[in-house]
Amino acid sequence: MARSQELGERRIYHPASKAQYPQIYPILPIHHHPYLPLSPILTSPVWTTLITNTAYLPGLLTLHHSLVLSGSAYPLIALYTDTFPTEGHAALDARGIPKQRIPYLVPSMPRDYSNDPRFYDCWSKLAPFGLVGYERVVQLDSDMLVRLNMDELMTMELDSPEDGGKGNRVFAAGHACVCNPLGKGHYPKDWIPENCAFTTQHSDPLTAQTNGAPSTAGLSMPNGGLQVVNPSKATYDLISSQLAKEATSNYEFADQSLLGDLFHGRWVALPYIYNALKTLRWKGVHDAIWKDEEVKNVHYILSPKPWDETEEKKGKGDETHGWWHEVNDARKKDERSRGIDDGF
């Protein structure tokens, strides 16, 4: 038996290694959490990303590769639900990406999201608040691309887990853009530029690179794509209790509506560069503050996703999609050199 098996170890590709050679991580004693399933865990700070199906798997794999290229010192953990299929697990295993099972979260009073089915899965993005085996979790959406190292998020000041969600720095996130630039008819009537937190920064674009507008600015809603969390049982209890209330039927944007309501004014607003919604760059939206060279993490909100574009349209519309394709092509080239060519 190999020594790594004797010690109960697993091999993963460490994001800090641009050579992507296997590193050994010991499997620590299983930590029992009252809400989340038993699973081997790492205690160090981690990036996590939710995956429920293979539709977002190309995004996850390229997100992982972009973290590698950024030189991050921390691993990315794929948080999967029972809906994630066998071929998806095989793809993660082939690339040495560690994974952890989480429950598929749903509120007791669900809302009809037929206009935006993506929100049905979004409740499960609240699970990192309960991953108490990790000292710090930075949850990323799988449709993101890291362009610059942002490891500083792992050490920024937040409330201690012992504060139990009662402090003024419960978590950190970027603001949601409430401009509704595509004019979606089912969006709330108050989703207009005048009510957007980013609009308040147009007069001072330099400061916008380093400081977010106050968490109470605009409609006071965080975007759920990036969340910096110190996991805590007490905080997760608050979230679980909120999921059981009738108020969830009024949450038009699922997890981010809940967080904005439950922790109103008590979260840290990050500058846009950490969750740079691609629409912010569009002319007349928030291009007044967007600077390509400052952006650390692009978020490909809405459809189509870069990986869903046809070969003819690949990167020819939104310039930021070209950035994604460049990293994705590099990822696939690297994988082929290691004998991985599974279509993802």
Question: Looking at the whole model, is its pTM more than 0.85?
Answer: yes
Amino acid at 60: L
Task: Confirm if 279 and 318 have CB atoms less than 8 A apart.
Answer: no
The span from the CA of 214 to the CA of 78, in Å, is: 31
- Choose among 187, 197, 189, 309: nearest CA to 253: 187
Task: Confirm if 282 and 302 have CB atoms less than 8 A apart.
Answer: no
> pLDDT at residue 155 above 90?
yes
- The average pLDDT across 57-64 equals 99
> pLDDT at residue 11 above 70?
no
The span from the CA of 39 to the CA of 30, in Å, is: 6
Read off the tokens for 302.
């809405």
Please tell me the predicted confidence (pLDDT) of residue 315: 64
Task: Confirm if 267 and 215 have CB atoms less than 8 A apart.
Answer: yes
Choose the weakest-confidence range: 90-99, 114-123, 136-145.
114-123
Q: What is the pLDDT of residues 275-317, one digit of tens each?
A: 999 999 999 999 999 999 999 999 999 999 999 998 888 867 8
pLDDT band for position 28 (cuts 50, 70, 90)? very low
Percent residues over pLDDT 70 in the chain: 87
> pLDDT at residue 31 above 60?
no
For residues 13 and 323, the model is more confident at 323
Choose the weakest-confidence range: 9-13, 109-113, 332-336.
9-13
> pLDDT at residue 32 above 50?
no
Please tell me the predicted confidence (pLDDT) of residue 319: 95
Pairing of strands 222-229, 276-277: unpaired
Please tell me the predicted confidence (pLDDT) of residue 305: 97
The third-level CATH classification (topology) of the domain covering 3-304+319-337 is: Spore Coat Polysaccharide Biosynthesis Protein SpsA; Chain A (3.90.550)
Whole-Å CA distances, 214 to 72, 197, 219, 223:
28, 8, 11, 14
CA Rg, the chain, in Å?
20
For residues 133 and 227, the model is more confident at 227
Please tell me the predicted confidence (pLDDT) of residue 316: 77
Please tell me the predicted confidence (pLDDT) of residue 42: 54
Q: What is the pLDDT of residues 161-207, one digit of tens each?
A: 999 999 999 999 999 999 999 999 999 999 999 999 999 999 999 99
Q: Please list the helix, strand and coil fractions of the chain in percent, rounded to the nearest 5, in that order.
A: 35, 15, 50
Helical spans, DSSP H, in 23-85: 57-69
Instruction: Please provide the average confidence, as pLDDT, over all residues in the chain.
Output: 89
DSSP string, 234-290: HHHHHHHHHHTSGGGGG-TTHHHHHHHHHTTT-SEEPPGGGSEEGGGGSTTTTTTT-
Please tell me the predicted confidence (pLDDT) of residue 312: 83
- Tell me, what DSSP letter sits at residue 140? E
Choose the weakest-confidence range: 6-10, 176-180, 262-266, 285-289.
6-10
